[in-house]
Amino acid sequence: MRVSAHGIGIEVEATGDAGRPAVLLIMGLGMQLTAWPGEFVQGLVEAGFRVIRFDNRDVGRSQCFDDLGIPNLLWESMKHRLGLQVRAPYSLQAMAQDSLGVLDALGIARAHVVGASMGGMIAQRIALSAPDRVLSLASIMSSSGARYLPGPKPQVLSALMGHPRGRSEQALADHGVKILKLIGSPAFPTDEATLRASVIAANRRSFHPAGTMRQMAAVAADRRRADELPRIKTRTLVVHGRDDPLVPLACGHDTARRISGARFVAIPGMGHDLPPPVVERMLAHLAPHLNGASRP
């Protein structure tokens, strides 16, 4: 269903009884709500929660912002490395407001907030700007955004900045599969046929790379979040893959050390994805975290 989140059209899916505590899932850069594995959603429902997923602005079936143009990522990334202000069409804080708007549209006063990758950054922004709306925070394979932290492996960065070898469905799928294989969990590899099917399904649902570029600029422009994280008092779980080639383990460590009382969990063999064995391990930590936070 599509809702109006403070005037922004956002595509939302809700799973589980409306009377249960809500878990708001926020996905990462360029990823749609369908990127949350069914096993992950079902595991949270079986743990007693109502699960809310949505497409972030500029991806999937949510409102696009093509009128804001496409940022020059090469130039903006250079400015980011030099510590200069990055110009972005919109901010992560604006995306956090979208997330709160989803809760408002559904009549949900407070929710557990769980974000993956860029979604973890947005979740951090929600906990900073609206702590009274957040029952608990979980930041998964994400980062504090501190400038000194390591970045993606060179081959991963090269693939991310590359382009498909055409506009056919096969060319787009080849490009997507290449990226997913590079960032995937080395101990829990997903077979190529499954990866290809998921990429094709996602592209058929929506393919909007310009939106991903605007989101990327928003991430680079969010320079002050690391210094603000110590203000978070919400019960926090930080989960990261020990073998993440896109957002290295140090990024998760730094997030956890900046948030007072945060619990840090590193999953061996996990990269920057959510295959079934990782989902199983993650739920073993996440479900108790959510249930503990929901106690009076």
Alpha helices in the chain (DSSP H): 38-46, 73-81, 92-105, 118-129, 154-161, 169-183, 192-205, 209-221, 225-228, 249-258, 276-293
- Please give the pLDDT value at position 295: 41
Query: Can you give the pLDDT at residue 296?
Result: 34
- Per-residue pLDDT averaged across 240-254, rounded? 98
The full length of the chain comes to 296
CA–CA gap between residue 99 and residue 123 (Å, rounded):
9
Is the predicted pLDDT of residue 294 greater than 60, yes or no? no
Question: Is the pLDDT reported for residue 78 higher than 70?
Answer: no
**Alpha-carbon torsion (59, 63, 69, 72), positive or negative:** negative
* CA–CA separation, 28 and 161 (whole Å): 17
Contact predicate 225/144, CB 8 Å: yes
Burial degree of 268 (CB within 10 A; 0-12, 13-18, 19+):
exposed
The per-residue pLDDT of the chain, averaged, comes to 94
Enter the tokens of residue 5: 């989140």
What confidence score (pLDDT) does residue 80 get?
Answer: 63
Q: What is the pLDDT of residue 162?
A: 86
Residues 155 and 60: their CA atoms lie apart, in Å, by: 27
| Domain edges within the chain | 2-151+208-293
Indicate if the pLDDT at residue 283 is higher than 50: yes
- Nearest to residue 59, comparing CAs of 216, 274, 275? 216
Cα 253 from Cα 140, distance rounded (Å):
11
Kindly report the pTM of this predicted structure: 0.96
Condensed to tens digits (0 to 9), the pLDDT of residues 153-193 reads: 999 989 988 889 999 999 999 999 999 999 999 999 999 99
The span from the CA of 180 to the CA of 200, in Å, is 13
**Does 45 score more than 90 pLDDT?**
yes
Q: Model confidence over 111-121: pLDDT tens digits? A: 999 999 999 99
Query: Which has more confidence, 22 or 84?
Result: 22
Topology of the domain covering 2-151+208-293: Rossmann fold (3.40.50)
Q: Tokens at residue 54, please?
A: 């949505």
Please state the rounded mean pLDDT for residues 185-211.
97
Residue 96 has pLDDT above 70, yes or no: yes
Q: How many other C-beta atoms are found inside a 10 Å radius of the C-beta of residue 255? A: 28
